[in-house]
Amino acid sequence: MDKQRYIATPQTKRFQSPSEQPLRISRFGSQLAQTETLRGLNLPLASVIVLSYNASMFVEQCVRSVLDSDYPNFEVIVVDNGSTDGSYELVRKLFGAIPNVRIIRNSRNLGFAEGNNVGYRNSRGDVLVFLNVDTVTEHDWLRRLVDVLNSDATIGVAQPRLVSMGHPGSVDSEGGYMDCLGYVYLYGSWYTTKPIRKPAEPFYAEGAALAIKRSVAESVLLDASIFDPSHFLYYEDSDLCWRVRLSGHRIVCVRNSIVHHQRAYAAGGASYTSAYRFTKNHIATLIKNYGLRCLLKWLPLVVLFESLSAALLITRAGDIALAKIRAIFWCLMNFRQPWEKHVYVQRLIRRVPDSAIVQLMLRPDFRLLLSGSQALTQFVQGR
């Protein structure tokens, strides 16, 4: 199949002509499904969960590419997050009659975290794959992901290599990294501030394409959810993967599993709301996952740096500064909420000491942190 006919270009941000192409359901899978071979292979069922919100320009090409995967045992769950652009109706029309596609509609936009949780609760797979709607998958992407997950009992989460949509030679992301203060860095060509030291494994997998064993996911649930429901957007993937690492499992990037990604289609740039959610969830993630000693060591520094950042921004980006101040104030006034989750994580999930976790983190780049909102602006614009 000519992959380029499904790839959106940065200029058009839309697929070229997928509606003119015949719909094919996993050429390899449809053949195996007609025989007893599938049972003999004993391959785990993979649930690919695609969260869609006002994504009429992306959803068709995304679902079509997933359906063309050569992995023979998967289901696709499309969760519409209260779209108003006709994309839900489009999905129903194109894919509603396909046996291994399930379509769920939320009455309103529940955000990234809870929207994906809805998909999880309606899934049946032993492997859960959370996939952004602004992606196009290669033919063998799912098979390679599942192969790696199944190859090692210590691996809990895997991320494919994300390449820039329309520019296959440009790496979009090979996973996320975190420093001891909880600031996150994505390793990819779009992100101009690279980590000083790139560890062998990413600290977390990006939510744009994240595969996790169901058994691992259900061992680190919070409020019966994979992603913390209080994280509407931002830090939901790094928070989940931190819990996965605390449970004693690894996170890897599968570089021969390729997914094309149109980054930032729904981010909307650095806004008051984005800055508020980013800062609040950052602080809450530290509170939940660090042990008490590390929390007392690092949390005051984060609050200090965020306060200094807000002061530096007050004259040139007042809305961002106010958002940071509001987020800090919320965390102080509502400390009990993340602290109750901290107690749960430390007592029932943790199997690995903080000393081992910190070794997987980057050293903080204090010059970057003192530069104000640079990291925040780049991250939320690139989400």
* CATH code of residue 98: 3.90.550.10
Q: Based on the fold, state whether residues 212 and 351 are members of the same structural domain.
A: no
Q: Based on the fold, state whether residues 179 and 299 are members of the same structural domain.
A: no
In-domain check, residue 308: yes
CA 252 from centroid of its chain's CA atoms: 14
Domain range for 370 is: 272-382
Q: Based on the fold, state whether residues 206 and 160 are members of the same structural domain.
A: yes
Q: Based on the fold, state whether residues 78 and 107 are members of the same structural domain.
A: yes
Q: What distance in Å separates the CA atoms of residue 191 and residue 102, rounded to the nearest whole number?
A: 35
| Distant-in-sequence, close-in-space partners of 51: CB < 8 Å, separation ≥ 6 | 79, 81, 112, 115, 116, 119, 130, 132, 133
Integer angstrom CA distances of residue 126 from 5, 65, 227, 302: 32, 21, 17, 38
Integer angstrom CA distances of residue 104 from 187, 357, 379: 33, 37, 29
What are the pLDDT digits (tens) for 101-120? Answer: 999 999 999 999 999 999 99
Q: What distance in Å separates the CA atoms of residue 138 and residue 210, rounded to the nearest whole number?
A: 15
What are the pLDDT digits (tens) for 318-366? Answer: 999 999 999 999 999 999 999 999 999 999 999 999 999 999 999 887 7
Q: Based on the fold, state whether residues 199 and 222 are members of the same structural domain.
A: yes
Which amino acid, 215?
Answer: S
Model pLDDT, residue 12: 34
What is the tally of structural domains in the chain? 2
CA 18 from centroid of its chain's CA atoms: 26
Low-confidence ranges of the chain (pLDDT < 50): 1-37, 39-40, 190, 192-196, 372-382
pTM above 0.85, yes or no: yes
Q: What distance in Å separates the CA atoms of residue 364 and residue 34, rounded to the nearest whole number?
A: 55
Phi, psi of 59 (to 5 degrees): -60, -35
In-domain check, residue 267: no
